[in-house]
């Protein structure tokens, strides 16, 4: 336990340093890009006096080092800055979009992980059989199909032809205003407040976008699971376990799947972090108000500070997910702690 405790402490110390490096890179990249972001956002016909006023309000007329200090201090106080266009703080909207993306990411992973693990496990343990061929075919199909095309097909079949699920994603506005804001995730908030009707309505709106993203991500998890399982099942200790008469199912689960979880966790963690950055195509297809559509709109409107805030939040998410995955690694494999 001492090794595990020291490992976690080291990771907790290193994570803030990694976040600071990521935030510094984001800050510098957005400021070395060519062009004037303020002028680009307000247009070429706006008087220069007005442009200078906006620069002063946003602190963009200060020296670079002072802008960096203000940027870091603001983040420590939970201030992500102000919009170039509206000049209002977008902290609340950014966090609400983050909660929506988190809800979609969690629901998608609830589809992707069981589906990918099951197909990969069946493919590895039934190698060469029809189940293996089906598993590999579904794996190739899942990460080859464009996500927006799959979303449109699901909308057409289940939303328009059959009329089972809504074609839009996320809770409708009437439900969002009705459910008390506790975590920001409408599905979870409706459960915590005891509003079962709102929960079921939200679930119906989440089914199609979650299935779309979950199926696409499951292909990567399927392939990694199959390859990792095949490698582990060919190890000497697995062959020795079979020779000792240990039941085949126990060998595959205890010795096979458990020891294959490290690469599976890696890819699952990376996919989750990518989803948290905003699944732009899926959110656009299902008119889902998450980080992806928020950043897309900011780029189209050339709102430089909104893009900076969204990328900053994404960098923090990646660092946090990386920390969680590292800790799970250590719990699964004691060798990683040393």
Instruction: Describe the crossing of helices 304-332 and 261-276 by its angle, rounded to 10 degrees.
Output: 160
Q: Could you tell me if 210 and 158 are in contact, meaning their C-beta atoms sit under 8 angstroms apart? A: no
Spell out the residues 6+ positions from residue 49 whose beta carbon is closer than 8 angstroms to its own. Answer: none
pLDDT at 189 (0 to 100): 92
pTM of the entire predicted model? 0.85
Helix (H, G, I), strand (E, B), or coil: what is residue 272? helix
CA-based angle 296:307:310, to the nearest 5? 90
Could you list the pLDDT tens digit for every one of the 338 residues in the chain?
556 777 778 888 888 888 888 888 878 887 777 766 777 667 777 787 877 887 787 777 888 889 888 888 888 887 777 777 766 677 777 777 888 888 999 999 999 999 999 999 988 888 888 888 888 888 888 878 888 899 999 999 999 999 999 998 888 888 888 999 888 889 989 999 999 999 999 999 999 999 999 999 999 999 999 998 988 888 888 888 888 888 888 888 877 887 888 888 888 888 888 787 657 888 888 988 888 888 888 777 777 777 778 878 888 888 888 888 888 877 776 666 55
Q: Where are the domains of the chain?
A: 91-300
pLDDT at position 151 is 92
Structure tokens at 193: 């407040």
Residues 6+ apart with CB under 8 A from 96: 184
Half-sphere exposure of 217 (CA within 13 A, CB side): 29
| Sign of the torsion angle spanned by Cα atoms 167, 173, 178, 181 | positive
Q: Which region holds residue 287: left if phi is over 0, alpha if psi is between -120 and 50, else beta?
A: left
State the CATH class of domain 91-300.
Answer: mainly alpha
CB of 76 closer than 8 Å to CB of 19: no
């Amino acid at each position: 336990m001492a090794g595990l405790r020291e490992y976690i402490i080291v990771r907790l110390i290193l994570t803030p340093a990694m976040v600071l490096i990521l935030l510094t890179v984001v800050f510098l990249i957005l400021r070395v890009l060519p062009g004037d972001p303020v002028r680009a956002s307000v247009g070429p016909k706006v008087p220069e006096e007005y442009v200078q006023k906006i620069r002063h309000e946003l602190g963009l007329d200060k020296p670079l080092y002072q802008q960096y200090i203000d940027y870091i201090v603001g983040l420590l106080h939970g201030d992500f800055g102000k919009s170039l266009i509206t000049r209002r703080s977008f902290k609340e909207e950014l966090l609400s979009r983050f909660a929506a993306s988190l809800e979609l990411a969690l629901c998608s992973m609830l589809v992707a992980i069981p589906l990918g693990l099951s197909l990969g496990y069946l493919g590895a343990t039934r190698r060469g059989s029809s189940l293996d061929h089906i598993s590999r075919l579904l794996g190739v199909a899942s990460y080859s199909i464009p996500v927006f095309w799959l979303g449109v097909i699901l909308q057409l079949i289940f939303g328009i032809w059959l009329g089972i699920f809504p074609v839009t994603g996320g809770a409708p506005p009437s439900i969002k205003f009705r459910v008390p804001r506790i975590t920001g995730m409408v599905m979870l908030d409706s459960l915590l407040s005891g509003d079962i009707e709102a929960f079921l309505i939200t679930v119906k709106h989440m089914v199609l976008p979650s299935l779309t993203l979950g199926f696409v991500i499951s292909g990567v998890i399927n392939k990694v699971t199959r390859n990792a399982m095949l490698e582990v099942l060919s190890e000497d200790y697995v062959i020795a376990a079979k020779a000792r008469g240990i039941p085949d199912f126990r060998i595959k689960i205890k010795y096979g799947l458990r020891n294959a979880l490290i690469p599976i966790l890696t890819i699952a963690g990376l996919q989750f972090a990518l989803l948290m950055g905003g699944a732009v195509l899926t959110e656009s297809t299902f008119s889902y108000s998450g980080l992806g559509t928020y950043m897309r709109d900011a780029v189209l409107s050339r709102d430089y500070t909104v893009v900076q805030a969204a990328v900053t939040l994404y960098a923090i998410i990646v660092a946090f997910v990386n920390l969680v995955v590292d800790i799970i690694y250590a719990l699964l494999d004691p060798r990683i702690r040393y």
